[in-house]
């Protein structure tokens, strides 16, 4: 009989443990943080909702190292605090909600710094309370642990008390004379919100900040687009380099195969024209020579006839032979014909040089155009980039894309690490194997 009772007790324990393990547990924390006028946390309170789904006995152990003054607000559930743990136990018929409160002795994951400017000057609240003028309240936020938080700021005041100076920074709802403001931000790595007011009797309105662990709305799908764009840039770069190689080959061919003209060839037309002028001058002098010789001939003849000197008679004979030779020769016309021939040569050589010059100029123009295509330059007053400049720009764009891709990859790694951290993230105390969620409410009370 006694053995049967013991066996039944053991079965009951086993069944209760079995049912307890099959229960679904959710650990939901709401953290209330009271802020001082400077933004420092003065008090941190916990409201903990533990929901149990399923039938059976439960024995839930919550890490209570940072929680003190714990109070239980659920009937037919028992609680005890031992060895730094909070233990709640009881029975769930199907659903069971357990509510706990306590003070948390742990640094919250978001730091605040609040500063006040009265008429543009940095002041303390006591310097402007009850006075008339402009009040700027600047709230600086910075996470002190690696967790993303979406922060929503809310406040309200009477339109009789204040005029809002920065309405574009908030979503505004007006109910009668009550003005309600809402603004939000992600302090990654930090953030600043500003409330600018004007009033006749200044005070600090109550401001609340709701902080939810949440991933920022970042679209990482553009990474694939950047990869595709980067591949396109690679293709353009290879095509550009191929074109440059082709153009450089053409320019090298032009440089090797373009003939060089000796300097004397370039000056040949002018040399021929100078010789033509010399020939014409000689021809002119030869034509005038008979006149000069006739004078000499007349003088020799007069001396020979008026004298018996044999020498003058011999001289007259020679002069007569020379006179006949001069009268019958065509040296002057021959020299002139030579001059004409040299003139024709000069004209033809100039024409040939003009044709060569035009051809060389055409080649030079082509070469210049190819150089502009390759290295850039001006055409009709417009500055054009060359393929080398385009290559530099493509490489710069490629480096920027690589840098942005690197940032996106780091951002993706950070988002994934945050996702992992946000899975069952809890603040005050963990419950093993429970689904967890947490939210923070920071409150700055009215100062007047």
Coil, strand or helix at 45: strand
Give me 141's structure tokens. 């936020």
pLDDT at 10: 46
pLDDT at 75 over 70: yes
pLDDT class for 262, splitting at 50, 70, 90? Answer: low
Provide the 3-class DSSP secondary structure of residue 57.
Answer: strand
Is 212 a residue whose pLDDT tops 80?
Answer: yes
Report, as an integer, the average pLDDT of 306-310: 75
Residue 340: helix, strand or coil by DSSP? helix
Residues 6+ apart with CB under 8 A from 225: none
Structural contact between residues 326 and 318, judged by C-beta atoms closer than 8 angstroms:
no
Identify whether the C-beta of residue 61 lies closer than 8 Å to the C-beta of residue 48: no
4-13, 148-157, 334-343, 367-376: range with lowest mean pLDDT: 4-13
Burial of 430 (0-12, 13-18, 19+ CB in 10 A): middle
Alpha-carbon separation of residue 269 from 68, 261, 279, 335, 338 (angstroms): 113, 14, 15, 19, 16
User: Is pLDDT at 40 greater than 60 in this prediction?
Assistant: yes
DSSP-based helix, strand, coil % in the chain, nearest 5? 45, 30, 20
What is the token pair recorded at 216?
């920022």
Q: Would you place residue 17 in the very low, low, confident or very high pLDDT band (cuts 50, 70, 90)?
A: very low
Q: Is 351 exposed, middle or buried (0-12, 13-18, 19+ CB in 10 A)?
A: exposed
* pLDDT number for residue 383: 78
∠ Cα 130 133 137 (to 5°): 85
Helices of type H across 178-309: 222-257, 263-266, 268-305
pLDDT of 12 reads 47
Write out the DSSP string of 187-209.
-SS-EEEEEEEEESS--B--EEE
Q: What is the pLDDT of residue 393?
A: 81
The Cα 56–Cα 70 span in angstroms is 25
Higher-scoring residue by pLDDT: 242, 375 = 375
pLDDT tens digits for 59-74?
Answer: 999 999 999 999 999 9
Q: Is the predicted pLDDT of residue 169 greater than 80, yes or no?
A: yes
Q: Where are the domains of the chain?
A: 110-217, 258-375
Average pLDDT over residues 210-236: 78
Mean pLDDT of 87-97: 94
- Please check the confidence at residue 7 and state whether its pLDDT lies above 70: no
- Measured from the Cβ of residue 155, the count of other Cβ atoms closer than 10 Å reads 21
- The Cβ of residue 93 has, within 10 Å, a number of other Cβ atoms equal to 8
Q: How many CA atoms lie within 13 A of 282 on its CB side?
A: 17
Question: For 136-140, 265-269, 306-310, 360-364, which range has the lowest pLDDT when averaged over its residues?
Answer: 265-269
- Kindly indicate the confidence band of residue 228, based on its pLDDT and cuts at 50, 70 and 90: confident
User: What is the rounded distance in angstroms from the CA atom of residue 257 to the CA atom of residue 264?
Assistant: 21
Q: What is the pLDDT of residue 205?
A: 97
Q: Find out whether the peptide bond into 297 is cis, omega within 30 degrees of 0.
A: no
Which is more confidently placed, 356 or 232?
232
pLDDT tops 70 at residue 223 = no
Report the share of the chain in percent with pLDDT over 70.
72
Q: Which of 147, 59, 73 is nearest to 110 (CA)?
A: 147
3-class DSSP state for residue 61? strand
Q: Looking at residues 255-268, what average pLDDT do you find?
A: 61
Fold designation for 110-217: Immunoglobulin-like (2.60.40)
pTM of the full structure: 0.65
User: How confident is residue 440, by pLDDT bands cut at 50, 70 and 90?
Assistant: very high
Pairing state between β 149-158 and 163-164: unpaired
In angstroms, rounded to a whole number, what is the distance separating the alpha carbons of residues 401 and 323? 100
The stretch 376-399 carries a mean pLDDT of: 78
């Amino acid at each position: 009989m006694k053995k049967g009772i013991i066996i039944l007790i053991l079965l009951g324990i086993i069944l209760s443990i079995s049912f307890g393990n099959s229960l679904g547990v959710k650990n939901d924390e709401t953290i209330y943080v009271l802020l001082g006028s400077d933004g420092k946390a003065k008090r941190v309170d916990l409201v903990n909702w533990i929901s149990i789904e399923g039938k059976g006995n439960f024995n839930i152990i919550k890490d209570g190292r940072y929680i003190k003054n714990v109070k239980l607000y659920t009937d037919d559930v028992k609680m005890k605090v031992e060895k730094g743990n909070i233990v709640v136990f009881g029975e769930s018929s199907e659903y069971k909600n357990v509510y706990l409160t306590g003070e948390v002795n742990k640094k919250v994951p978001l730091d605040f710094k609040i500063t006040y400017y009265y008429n543009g000057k940095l002041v303390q609240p006591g310097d402007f309370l009850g006075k008339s003028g402009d009040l700027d309240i600047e709230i600086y936020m910075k996470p002190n642990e690696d967790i993303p938080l979406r922060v929503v700021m809310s406040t309200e005041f009477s339109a009789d008390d204040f005029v809002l100076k920065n309405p574009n920074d908030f979503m505004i709802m007006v109910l009668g004379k009550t003005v309600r403001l809402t603004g939000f931000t992600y302090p990654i790595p930090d953030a600043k919100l500003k409330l600018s007011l004007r009033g006749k009797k200044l005070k600090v309105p109550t401001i609340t900040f709701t902080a939810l662990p949440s991933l920022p709305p970042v679209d990482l799908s553009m990474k694939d687009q950047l990869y595709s764009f980067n591949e396109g840039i690679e293709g353009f770069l290879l095509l550009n380099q191929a074109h440059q190689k082709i153009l450089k080959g053409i320019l090298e061919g032009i440089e090797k195969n373009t003939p060089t003209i000796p300097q004397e060839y370039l000056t040949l037309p002018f040399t021929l024209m100078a010789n033509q002028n010399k020939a014409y001058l000689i021809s002119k002098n030869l034509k005038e020579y008979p006149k000069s010789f006739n004078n000499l001939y007349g003088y020799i003849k007069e001396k020979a006839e008026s004298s018996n000197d044999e020498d003058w008679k011999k001289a007259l004979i020679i002069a007569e032979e020379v006179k006949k030779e001069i009268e019958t020769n065509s040296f002057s016309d021959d020299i002139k014909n030579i001059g004409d021939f040299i003139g024709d040569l000069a004209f033809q050589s100039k024409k040939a040089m003009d044709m060569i010059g035009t051809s060389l100029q055409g080649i030079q123009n082509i070469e210049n155009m190819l150089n502009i295509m390759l290295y850039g330059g001006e055409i009709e007053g417009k500055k054009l980039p060359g393929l080398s400049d385009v290559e530099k720009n493509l490489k710069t764009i490629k480096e920027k894309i690589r840098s942005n891709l690197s940032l996106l990859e780091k951002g993706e790694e950070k988002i994934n690490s945050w996702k992992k951290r946000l899975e069952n993230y809890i603040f005050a105390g963990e419950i093993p194997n429970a689904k967890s969620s947490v939210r923070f409410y920071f409150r700055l009370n009215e100062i007047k």
